[in-house]
Amino acid sequence: MPARRFQPDFLIDRLLYRDGLMLVIDKPAGLVVHAKPGSDRDSRGESLEDYFDALRYGLPRPPALAHRLDRDTTGCLILGRHPKALRKLHKLFFEGKIDKTYWAVCRGAPEKLSGTIDTPLTKGKQRRGWRMELADEGDETALAARTTYRVLGQKDGLSFIEAKPKTGRTHQIRVHLASIGAPIIGDPLYGNLSDFERDGPLMLHARRVIVPISKNKEPVVVEAEPPAAMAELLATVNPN
């Protein structure tokens, strides 16, 4: 079995929130959240799920993913602690009741400093693997995708953008920001970036989630600080 990159309990130190229904962890970059169905760790490499056993906190089974983040996206990731909680979280996501805020550092800036990108996406092919693309009009495979955004800072050709996905499509924020002239630094697939700008960590971070998990309580608000490399870049783009 391949060696693990992290200690078995490393997620304990990345725990941001815990109650009887859910956990929120600060996902690191470079680790897929789950394995492909039907594969084992010997053939597919490790995933974040391989480390969930340390997060049982007395329950008979480990928590499970309530949603997903891309391999290189960091920040708030929500887990359901048991099947009933997971069903509730899935319902909240499906109904659009969980508010998600992302931070991104981008090359360039959109013409409008705030707005909504309401452009469907479809899965396309490339030489190696696949990528998401803006759908053509009338494309029956297209999936509705909507993202609101605002520019929080600009300097030296870079911009600091806050994005809120209103749908949950794969690579949605990355494709949408690239489509308005603001590709995310470190993105290996999307936008007009130089090799140097692609060579480095993806500057996309799940900054905040707001989860109305309990009917009789205020929504749970959880924030994750950006990783060191992104925090350093943000300090130059948005020094205030």
Judge whether 151 and 113 are in contact, CB under 8 Å: yes
Closest CA to 124 of 146, 144, 139, 145: 139
The active-site residue, picked from 26, 70, 72, 187, is 70
**Separation between Cα atoms, residue 70 and residue 72, nearest integer Å:** 6
- Which residue type occupies 193? L
Closest CA to 116 of 146, 142, 143: 146
Neighbouring C-beta atoms of residue 168, cutoff 10 Å: 15
The pair of three-digit structure tokens given for residue 216, joined into one six-digit string:
């009789």
**Where would I find the H helices in 65-141?**
83-94
70 is catalytic: yes
- Among all residues, which ones are annotated catalytic? 70
